[in-house]
Amino acid sequence: MKSFDAIVIGGGQAGPFLAARMVEKGMKVALIERKFLGGTCVNAGCMPTKTLVASARAAHVARNGATYGVNIPGEIGIDMKVVRARAETVTMNARNGLIGWFAGMDDMTVIYGHARFEDPKTVSVNGETLTAPRIFLNVGARPVIPDLPGINDIDYLTSTSIIHLDTLPRHLAVIGGSYIGLEFAQMYRRFGAEVSVIEHGPKLASREDEDISDAIADVLRSEGIDIHTGVSDIAFARSSDGITVATDSARIDASHVLIATGRKPNTDDLGLDATGVITDKHGYITVDDSLATNVEGIWALGDCNGHGAFTHTSYNDFEIVAANLLDGGDRKVSSRILAYALYIDPPLGRVGMTEKQARASGRKIMISTRPMSRVGRANERGETKGFMKVIADAETKKILGAAILGIEGDEVIHGIIDAMNAGTTYPALQWSVPIHPTVSEMIPTLLGDLKPV
């Protein structure tokens, strides 16, 4: 049996950085990763997919060059092998950077293999037994595959496998109308494929307010994406030239099917029964405000704890645990103001409450909206789709939430994120003097138009 001061299981966006901090503090640490360092973000999420999004946008801009007086003769061709290779290069550079970083740490032992608990202080991997007084789980999540008729008879894609495609689908059917599915839908439409999105719920991006959801649907339909919502029945069958997707309202002749119906935590094969660690009905590990489980000496960070499925929330989990255990801090998950983005084009930047949540809270609220068509930068760039929306508390004057669906919305939202984290009231932010011409310069104007509802 090998003894360590700490064992980290999973090499995603929380575990490796926590391991490195503990090594800096003079601890002997084992980091166990079953496949690739970097987790979903580096290998199958943010980095490769946003690289693909950039390639798709380049194609879109080239096709629409004449609008800006830039004439490109002939058809715009897409070399999917180059597209794939570019995304793979970005992934490998990041992964190899982590490998090189850890190779320079004398007290860091990186083990590739599948770890299972033997007891709350002991894990086995590759036939070896390791023990430590502190064990941190950063095991991530994987795509959910629903039990739908005929699904086992077809070769379907997931968000993990689709990034390795080096050919262009004739017709991509996307099952699931949430964030992952919508990004791939627009991406492949811009590459030149026919695309259909099939969503069980009544609207796309169901977490969002109805006006945001409708605007997202308008953006996608304007690019020729076929959208089906409120679909109650889906079945698959092989056809002579691909896959038939039959729903209660349509029959789609697809060449490829992407299953994007959600993700589930990788907690079912860790041997958690040997520890007594509690999970909820979906398999997420239950943690307290400091990310500790119910078993002393075991923590859960990142996607597997159900407190955020984003790279930035996973990294913040690392910051919370490191501050509390290594720096004498008292940071809490409940203090985190959730923010995220949807990387269609134009992107959606989101922070805090939706309008629906704010109304349900019982607060007296104020709301302001502004179409992107009234934003100078948007008009100058010829990208006027979407709108801005902010919600504030009428009594405390604090900003409760915001959504910016529009050009650079994923960047502009940070002005509001920073204000919310600093506890700044909206009248104070309203008096800032932003740079012209930017999208951010509209934030004071947006706040100035807040009206009680």
Query: With contact defined as beta carbons under 8 Å apart, do 303 and 12 qualify?
Result: yes
Please list, in sequence order, all residues whose beta carbon lies within 8 angstroms of the beta carbon of residue 167, skipping any fewer than 6 positions away: 80
pLDDT-flagged residues of the chain (< 50): none
Question: What pTM was computed for the model?
Answer: 0.96
Both tokens of residue 434?
A: 């932003």
Is 436 labeled as catalytic in the residue annotation?
yes
Domain check: are 321 and 284 in the same one?
yes
Number of alpha carbons in the 13 Å side-chain half-sphere of residue 215: 23
26 and 120 share one domain: yes
Cα(415)–Cα(421) distance, rounded to whole angstroms? 10
- Do 125 and 69 reside in the same domain of the chain? yes
Indicate whether 164 and 120 sit together in one domain.
no
**Residue found under tokens 């590759």:** 126
Active-site residue (options: 164, 256, 307, 436): 436
Domain boundary among 335, 364, 380: 335
431: Cα within 13 Å, side-chain hemisphere: 4
Residues 110 and 192 both lie in one domain: no
Terminal CA-to-CA distance of the chain, rounded, Å? 64
Among residues 287, 313, 335, the one where a domain terminates is 335
Q: Are residues 326 and 417 in the same domain?
A: no
Q: What angle do CA 100, 40, 297 make, to 5 degrees?
A: 80
Could you read off the pLDDT of 136-177 as tens digits, one per residue?
999 999 999 999 999 999 999 999 999 999 999 999 999 999
According to DSSP, the residues that pair with 299 across neighbouring strands are: 136, 292
The pLDDT score that the predictor gives to residue 238 is: 96
420 and 290, same structural domain? no
Q: Are residues 250 and 238 in the same domain?
A: yes
Contact assessment for residue 403 and residue 379, using Cβ atoms and an 8 Å cutoff: no
pLDDT of residue 417: 98
Give the number of domains in the chain: 3
- We report the CATH number of the domain holding residue 397 as 3.30.390.30
Alpha-carbon distance of 348 to 351, in angstroms, equals 10
Q: State whether 84 and 125 are in the same domain.
A: yes
DSSP-derived 3-state class of residue 20: helix
CA distance 405 to 211: 11
For residue range 113-146, list pLDDT tens digits in order: 999 999 999 999 999 999 999 999 999 999 999 9
**Distance, CA of 178 to CA of 344 (rounded, Å):** 11
CATH (domain of 74): 3.50.50.60
Q: Domain ends where: 261, 286, 309?
A: 261
Strand ranges across the sheet with 251-254:
234-239, 242-247, 251-254
Answer yes or no: are the C-beta atoms of 397 and 386 closer than 8 Å: no
Dump strand ranges (E) for 394-449: 399-405
Q: Are residues 273 and 421 in the same domain?
A: no
pLDDT, residue 427, reads: 97
Residues in the chain, total: 453
What is the spatial distance between Cα 294 and Cα 286, in angstroms, rounded to a whole number? 7
Domain limits at 433? 339-452
Q: 118 with 159, same domain? A: no
User: In this predicted structure, what is the pLDDT of residue 249?
Assistant: 87
Task: Give the span between the Cα atoms of 301 and 136, in whole angstroms.
Answer: 7
State whether 347 and 309 are in the same domain. Answer: no
